[in-house]
Amino acid sequence: MASRRPDSFDGLGYRGRDNPLYGPSYPVRSAGAPAELQHHHWVTTPPDIPGSRNLHPGDRTPQYDRPLGEPGGSGAGWDAPQPSVPPGGMFVEQLSRFAGFGIGLVSLFTENVLAHPCIVFRRQCQVNYHARCHHLSPFSTVPVMYSITKAQGVKSLWKGMGSTFIVHGITLGSEGIISEFTPLPRELPHRWSWKQLTGHLLLKGLTAVVALPFYCASLIETVQSDIVRDESSSGLLDCIREGLARLLGVGAPHSRRLLPLSCLLLPAALHAVLRYTVSSSVQRVVLWFHQRSRKPRADPSNPLDAYFPELVAAWLGALVADVVVFPLETALHRLSLQGTRTIIDATDGPVAAGTSGSPLVLPVNTQYDGFSDCLHAIRRKEGGAGFYRGFGALLAQYALHGALLAAARTLLRLLLLDGKSS
């Protein structure tokens, strides 16, 4: 029986996108195994090479599974008759091997690359308290994103993408290092105790705190307008340099309104832990309902039954978690940008465009005293809708992700039908 990978489970069910600093991860089931013996593996696990067998710890070579003298056993030799496999079945078998890897790759590419413009525009809306339009619907976000792209180029909505990958790497690395040198568990057993759960959530909060300076630097790169950006002096490692500068209090002088990192520790840790908890809980509930409603005749070797339930559960869990923590994320982003002299694009669209047709730019001039003051100021001056500025971009992001998952499922179904018919 194949052993579990050490990072294949989280404490509350299945590992999903832990927090906004994390990169997405989607576990999938091994196809062809009974339901009670199926384990969850990462979709990024290298697939078996056709014609060979990649053994996991605890597995045995197939010829030793049969007694001597039986067909295919160790005593039968190479001249023993081998069962014939129809070409169509071989095609379906090979397709099943690579389906999880391909589908997971499409999901990761959509999450981190294709959906990045929606993330950029959402963050700009969250910190733009001057805007008259809150963009609560995805239909109002598309014209503004198109006008910004038309004026500044296509790459204006993919700015800061490299720094987001750097933050993901720092987050994963710090989580692994902390779990190695502390008793805080990185993964929880299937039967966990409250002490283990508390330590696991504490590890998530500490990881967010460690990555906080670099997250703030990445946030600035993401929302700053390309009109005022100096491309000659910008580089891929600016995120690390700016994060260390803010951590040590050196570098370019900032405004007096710049909040120390100590004021951001509580909202950053709370945001990470709450998002991780909601996402993992929703994933587990969705998979539980799927197991209850699954047909008894469902084929475990079918890639549609083996991979897509986990992907859909991870997608839905991330969506619900982002909706729940959206007000907290708005406050965190405003506090992180305060006093950094960041200039962003106007998010009111063509109405706010100047006579030359190019969008206006606005400075971020907030004067919050802390986390609680930020929450009260938003509620008092902007109302409840102020916490959900840019919510339409979030809906557009997950609509794009869900549409590509549905397209991948349809394509895989057609390939399976074609392979079985041939």
pLDDT tens figures, 85-131: 445 455 555 666 666 667 777 778 888 888 899 999 999 999 999 88
Q: Does residue 52 lie within any of the structural domains?
A: no
- Asked if residue 4 belongs to a domain, the reply is no
Q: How many domains does the chain have?
A: 1
Is residue 337 domain-resident? yes
* Backbone φ/ψ region at 57: left (φ over 0), alpha (ψ -120 to 50), beta: beta
**More confident site: 141 or 410:** 141
pLDDT (0 to 100) of residue 214: 95
Query: Which helix or strand (DSSP H or E) is residue 81 part of?
Result: none
pLDDT-derived band of residue 78, with 50, 70 and 90 as boundaries?
Answer: very low
**Rounded Cα distance, 368 and 339, in Å:** 10
Share of the chain above pLDDT 70, in %: 67
Q: Look at 232 and 72; give whichever has higher pLDDT.
A: 232
Going by the DSSP 8-state scheme, the letter that residue 57 receives in this structure is T
Residue 113 lies in a domain: yes
pTM, to two decimals: 0.74
Q: In whole angstroms, what is the distance from residue 328 CA to residue 213 CA? A: 18
Residue 11 lies in a domain: no
CA distance 204 to 201: 5
Asked if pLDDT for residue 81 goes beyond 70, the answer is no
pLDDT at site 349: 67
CA angle in degrees (0–180, nearest 5) for 143-354-336: 70
pLDDT at 4: 44
Shortest CA distance to 175 belongs to which of 330, 23, 282?
Answer: 23
In this prediction, residue 181 carries a pLDDT of: 93
CATH assignment of the domain containing 148:
1.50.40.10
Q: Is residue 68 part of a domain?
A: no
Range of the domain at 186: 88-292+299-419
192: enclosing H helix or E strand: none
pLDDT-derived band at 151 (thresholds 50, 70, 90) equals confident
Integer Cα distance of 128 and 70 in angstroms:
73
Whole-angstrom Cα distance, residue 244 to residue 217? 9
Query: For residue 187, is pLDDT > 70?
Result: yes
Question: Side chain identity at 320, as an amino acid letter?
Answer: V
Count CB-CB contacts under 10 A for residue 370.
Answer: 13
Q: Is the pLDDT of residue 302 over 50?
A: yes
Is the model's pLDDT at 184 over the cut of 90? Answer: yes
Mean of per-residue pLDDT scores for the chain: 77
Residue 65 lies inside a defined structural domain of this protein: no
The answer to whether residue 135 is domain-embedded is: yes
* Residues 190-211: tens digit of each pLDDT: 888 899 999 999 999 999 999 9
Give the pLDDT score at 45.
43
Beta bridge partners of 14: 9
Predicted confidence at residue 68, as pLDDT, reads 46
Distance CA 50, CA 30 (A): 16
Tell me: pLDDT of 280 over 50: yes
